[in-house]
Structure 1
Amino acid sequence: MPNNRQQNNRLQPEAAYENSHLVAQDLVERIRELLFDMPAPGVEEHPIDWTHVGSINEVNKRLSSVVAFLDGTEH
């Protein structure tokens, strides 16, 4: 039978992972909100220009890096 210390050591990583997983989910939701707040094509009051294209391309580059890390295809 494991002693209390062994049991606590085993639970600490699980609790830390669970907390970090919840933080990651919150970050993904915040990214979703921020993406929807970005300028949309076809809005005459705020026409799309090349700075918007550069910004969304940078977002896509960074998000692609996260996906590559998560699915193990990172180089």
Structure 2
Amino acid sequence: MNARKNKKPKLTAEAAYENAHIVAQDLVQRIGELLFDLPAPGNDEHPINWADVGSVNEVNNRLSSVVAFLEGTEE
């Protein structure tokens, strides 16, 4: 077995951070798209129900946790 083939390339912290940051930005963009696609009030084809309210409140709760983490204020 060739030892060179088994070696992993060394990744710097900066390169790993840059990659993770790009992934995070993509996730934020996708979240925005998904939120935009949620049912809107006044849509007769999909009237808002309490399950929709619960879903949006759960999203808000999770996003608030992310904001608190990023601000360093999470408990």
Per the shorter chain, which TM-score range? Answer: 0.7 to 0.9
Which residue of structure 2 lines up, in the alignment, with residue 43 of structure 1?
Answer: 43
Count matched residues.
66
CA RMSD of aligned residues (A): 1.2
Unaligned runs of 5+ in 2: 1-9
Q: Where does residue 34 of structure 1 map in the other structure?
A: 34
Q: Note the residue ranges of structure 1 that are not aligned, 5 or more in a row.
A: 1-8
Give the TM-score taking structure 1 as reference length. 0.85
Q: Distance in 2 between matches of 1:25 and 1:18?
A: 11
Larger helix fraction of residues: 1
Once residues 43 and 34 of structure 2 are traced to their aligned partners in structure 1, the CA distance between those partners, rounded to angstroms, is: 17
The reply on whether 1:12 has 2:12 as its aligned counterpart is yes
Percentage of identical aligned residues:
74
The runs of at least 4 aligned residues of structure 1 exceeding 2 Å deviation read none
TM-score in terms of structure 2 length: 0.85
Task: Kindly provide the amino acid, as one letter, of the partner of residue 21 in structure 1.
Answer: H
